[in-house]
Structure 1
């Protein structure tokens, strides 16, 4: 994976990928490692249990708050300084959770911590696409997806283990310290990709920031049907998985009365399936274009969600629900990085702004959709969760059909 588009050596490539991977992992870990302790958080802060999914959804919505501004700012000032600011903000807000004494302050900090996710989407993802050629960029996006999925896969188990020795406050403090180390890694190894001459002769030109011009560009993007379909589809495709992450503590621990360890173990099949899908994507990239990959991925994606809906109708237990989610998760893993690439290159506009709006739309859909599923009873019964999660995920199909119809076969080819 040495086909970089800018002139950096192998050591810097490795350090950049490692620091970027660690930052993304931490932004997800800050949510998932604390999930087993969320009932303890609400008890200690004297809050209602409804704040368990609310805190998770606020974290997702925090990722949307600044993306609209971060993308255009990074187009002018560069990806590197913006990502350094983002990692610092994330680390400080994690450390501040150690001192919180109310659920309102806790939720506010969850929102601020979620902004770190916004920096990942709006700043680091475009940088990755600009450093590497297309096939390698898609592979690295899938790899980052795998690493990020280690958080919901191992995060609950790690949280259970850490809670044997640490309080939830001390876990946040540890996350903040780890974010400090990541900041050092980004400072040492992250290259600048804006305003730099590429090896193919092109230059990622700096785009001067202007409020009026920025909103005009956003308006043009919102009028681009292919971009809008891809961005909305990204959010809806991930909605069942996001709803599962947010509601699993209530469904498994509170409703089904499983132990925290059993709750953690039941996460393994679902997130292992997403990783398997990402690995299949890496192999299929050698012989298939991205639209072809998405078409293949829709088979396990739709099958899993239809089985999940059947579980709701038949009143199936936990094992069939998790098995259905796992089939769906294979399709999600195969398609997510490919659909993101199709969204990013659906327009010739600068990738910072495009990535920002893509992230805003997709994360808003996931956050609001997860909140809606929780509000209509998704956390009270397994059948309700299965039905609403399946319907939410299947809503992406008309969008995917439109996207594939308007994407030419040579767009985003493997090489």
Structure 2
């Protein structure tokens, strides 16, 4: 017999959303706030500065490592205990990083910290989709995207300022304390959505955990061409942005000789554009279906990437590079949450497993692609980065075209003034 979900009070709804937003922000901030200090980290450990992008790549790999298992475990035992355990793991890894004594230990702890990102993708995102209706869920995903993007927007600036008074080790201590506070908020406010009968009559029943059954479900899911195309497109569309985050310290600080504060300031136009795209998405949701929104987003997305490619051929100044990245980022902000929603519901399987598969595929593409762009010279010249980032982003178009060709979604209903979240 399923439990009945008692109507969630508005205070708990707000606390739940803020707690998830806080955890997501921390999982990204653990990377971005440290980027201005990465040259100091490699210097302290006598490591090659070319290892700077590896810190981001390993963090993304960590986000993939356990997603394949986290999703099915959340389907079986519930979203709440899994997210609480993920938040605790992240906090412990941050505390341990403050005492690391070698670059190898540092990278290992970066990998473990990245697993927190896997919990965000495989547990908190499906929980939001199950608690809220479609229109509200897409809006919240877009808003969470804005929260996550505050990290690369403000993280380098905040990191640059904090490094005036704190060491990079003390930054990790602050992240660990923040994770403990977020854990308490999740414990107090997060509802369970698995095995709970909601007032709308729908239920996400627990799914028995079986290795053979899990492998079979993943095999079926990976045989779904529409799902695979959408997941690949999600990773490739974000790859230029991820590559920029990874190599920006090398390009701006080491190559161009900018200060850490100037490095942080140059991030503002790019990530402000993504946030602006998410806000545009929110305004267009009531009058456009999701495939149409993605088609509209492709105009600034493609124009920005083509400008990047032109800059690579004709010679890229920093201003032109940032302008092209910002235009591309605007399109990415409009399309990302809509494409994620379509990908999540392109399969009838449980949303924990589907979300985990989306995360594994897209984050693997971003992590491997970012490392490849750095390895072939993306961190040594502006023109080289512009060329490879543009090509990577444009590679998403064939998969996206095939996916959208079969996508049909009804217009989203307008939100009611008062909504029962039960």
TM-score normalized by the length of structure 1: 0.98
Distance 1:277 1:199 in 2: 34
Distance 2:260 2:210 in 1: 50
Corresponding position of 2:215: 215
Corresponding position of 2:47: 47
Instruction: State the 1:7 CA deviation.
Output: 2.6
Residues 6 and 59 of structure 1, relative CA distance in 2, 3 Å threshold? farther
Structure 1: gaps spanning 5 or more residues: none
Give the conservation status (yes or no) of the 8 Å contact 2:36–2:260. yes
1:146-157 to structure 2, matched below 5 A, reads 146-157=146-157
Instruction: State the 1:199 CA deviation.
Output: 2.0
Corresponding position of 1:403: 403
SS of 1:296's equivalent?
helix
Distance 1:178 1:206 in 2: 31
Corresponding position of 1:138: 138
Instruction: State the 1:414 CA deviation.
Output: 5.0
User: What do you get for the CA RMSD once the two structures are aligned?
Assistant: 1.0
Instruction: State the 1:6 CA deviation.
Output: 7.0
1:28-39 to structure 2, matched below 5 A, reads 28-39=28-39
SS of 1:115's equivalent?
helix
Runs of 4+ in 1 over 4 A off after TM superposition: none
Corresponding position of 2:10: 10
Give the conservation status (yes or no) of the 8 Å contact 2:12–2:189. yes
Deviations 1:109-150 (A, max 9, x none): 000000000000000000010000000000000000001100
Equivalences, count: 410
Q: Is residue 2:113 matched to residue 1:85?
A: no
Instruction: State the 1:409 CA deviation.
Output: 3.9
Give the conservation status (yes or no) of the 8 Å contact 2:222–2:228. yes
SS of 1:374's equivalent?
helix
Corresponding position of 1:275: 275
1:264-343 to structure 2, matched below 5 A, reads 264-343=264-343
Structure 2: gaps spanning 5 or more residues: 415-422
Instruction: State the 1:67 CA deviation.
Output: 0.1
Deviations 1:298-334 (A, max 9, x none): 1100000000110100012000000000000000000
Instruction: State the 1:39 CA deviation.
Output: 0.3
Give the conservation status (yes or no) of the 8 Å contact 2:286–2:412. no
Q: Is residue 2:241 matched to residue 1:241?
A: yes
Distance 1:132 1:9 in 2: 14
Instruction: State the 1:65 CA deviation.
Output: 0.1
1:176-255 to structure 2, matched below 5 A, reads 176-255=176-255
Give the conservation status (yes or no) of the 8 Å contact 2:270–2:325. yes
